[in-house]
Structure 1
């Protein structure tokens, strides 16, 4: 059975283009379109699609409002199309907070190196969302400070491992004498990171490095939002930044974050090696931590498509680091954690809602 999709955009040209691209995949069928958010709500109710693609700026009703209504009345995976601007970043983050699961640039030239690759990426992301789980973490909106890719099809062995994995017991977990927490994530990551970080106290005793697949124009806005939500300090990382307790550094989009050793661990930001798919890449950041931090690392891999993070985790694990992975049931897309679990690298497999409390119990 084909994946049923509704395409929503106020531009007739863009709607036709997306319909043509998606319908070229024998496993995808565009069953309807809409020109604004109000139409989208009605079309989704009538046609019951598996996935919706949604523009943000539209007349009558904007995409963010439409996402909020759809997720309240007839929830399903929604892919946003966004402009890669500061305002576009803020709006996209609002849409993700409202319930959208993923986003892509509206310009194909910003989506991939060439048009054919962009078309493949779009189809892949839509197919992945068709398999995604409708799970929204119970977290505060990303608005104010709180007091408190490759196929991602899950592998059966990963599901079995996740179901049988031991639950975290802070009294028995051998996570001690650490110098940093590293977290890697992709699809579903913005809300997942919010869920993990929101409850950490200002005096959390370890520095945290965050690697989220995200464009360069989005990471400053995302870091600012996390900083407004969390008690710990969150900022977009820059070359020369020192790893400090109670502080999280977010890898900038479009480049790579490396951790350098020495008397103080510092950040170096550099361009990606030729052929690098993910910018930033969890693998590249995790591997850099091997030389700088050796075994004194807790690496956490959260929801996301593909397998980025597996090889970096393998390198850390070989040097004695500890690894946690998000479980299948709480992932939006069980790709990255599944890759780590299937490789036998996860020391603990946790539901998303337990990751933050586990950090508190283990280190506070």
Structure 2
């Protein structure tokens, strides 16, 4: 049976364009359209689509408000369309906080190098997030904290509680450190990553003993806003990485969108190199690039994780880290928005542990000796 999609946008041209792309994939079908957020909420309750594509700026009711209301009454996987501006970045992060699972640029030329690739990517994203609809509809709805900031540090995905993990509870089974010594932490992620990174980083203390490298697939205009928002929520310092940054303990460096972030120098006085993304690179930033450079400089003293995301970026970099003796963990399937990148690492036999998102920070603190 085809995946049923509700397309929401106030532009008739964009509604038609998105509908044509979705309907050209045999596994997808546009069941209806809505012209504003209010109509989207009404049709979501009545039609119960498998996926909703949602614009942010609309009359009557904007997309962020619509996402909040839909998640409160009929949780549904939502893909946002966003403008690649600073304000667009902030609004998109607000939409993810409200419960949307993913986003794409509204201008198709910003999605991929050619139209065919952009069409395929949009179709894939809809299919991928549709896989979470069963879990979301089983999950109870929880109220948002009154003092929340966007990407609120609650144990929920957006404003819904994830299905309870099958992993033992903390009271039943505490983690044990392996005894390895580390000098660097590195985390790679893509689809679902903004919420996942926020959940982990907000649990880390200001005295976290190592520098942290964050590689999140994200447009260039988004990473500055994302780093700023994380910094306002976290005890560790979070900043968008700049060329020449000296790596310092307790600081998380977010790879800039459209660029590649690499480690240079030697442990104890290493610096970041931030260079052009490269025309031939599929991902800018690329997890493989950063992980590979970390393996060369820090070898076995890297604690690394591959989180939720589409594709296999991170697998080859993680392979290099493992060959150097480093530790690689993967997020488990149940807690991922898209179990692509972690699956690639797990299937290749590279990761040593598969962890639920809500316990990764706890496991990190135990492993580095402060948990």
2:218 partner SS = coil
- What TM-score comes out, normalization by structure 1 length? 0.91
Consecutive unaligned residues in structure 2, runs of 5 or more: 155-165
Matched with 2:2 is 2
Counterparts in 2 of 1:76-115, with a 5 A limit?
76-115=76-115
1:144 CA drift (Å): 9.4
Worse-matched range after superposition: 42-51 or 220-229: 42-51
2:167/2:356 contact within 8 Å kept: no
Counterparts in 2 of 1:264-303, with a 5 A limit?
264-303=269-308
Consecutive unaligned residues in structure 1, runs of 5 or more: 148-161
The answer to whether the aligner puts 1:67 opposite 2:70 as a matched pair is: no
1:9/1:34 contact within 8 Å kept: yes
Worse-matched range after superposition: 118-127 or 225-234: 118-127
Matched with 1:253 is 257
Whole-Å separation in 1 of the counterparts to 2:132 and 2:301: 34
- What TM-score comes out, normalization by structure 2 length? 0.89
Whole-Å separation in 2 of the counterparts to 1:46 and 1:169: 45
The answer to whether the aligner puts 1:192 opposite 2:196 as a matched pair is: yes
Match of 1:215 among 219, 232, 249: 219
TM-superposition CA deviations, 1:49-97 (whole Å, max 9, x none): 1100000000000000000111111001100000000000000000001
Structure with greater contact order relative to length (CA < 8 Å, sep ≥ 6): 1
Change (3 A) 1:146 1:109: closer
1:319 CA drift (Å): 0.7
Matched with 2:229 is 225
1:89/1:217 contact within 8 Å kept: yes
The alignment covers a number of residue pairs equal to 347
The answer to whether the aligner puts 1:324 opposite 2:329 as a matched pair is: yes
TM-superposition CA deviations, 1:10-68 (whole Å, max 9, x none): 01111011111111111110000000000001111121111000000000000000001
Whole-Å separation in 1 of the counterparts to 2:173 and 2:341: 20
1:217 partner SS = helix
1:84 partner SS = coil
Matched with 1:179 is 183
Whole-Å separation in 2 of the counterparts to 1:25 and 1:143: 34
Whole-Å separation in 2 of the counterparts to 1:104 and 1:238: 25
TM-superposition CA deviations, 1:132-187 (whole Å, max 9, x none): 3656999974449979xxxxxxxxxxxxxx989xx98543x325220110000111
TM-superposition CA deviations, 1:191-248 (whole Å, max 9, x none): 1011101111111111100000100000000000000000000000001111111110
1:119 CA drift (Å): 1.1
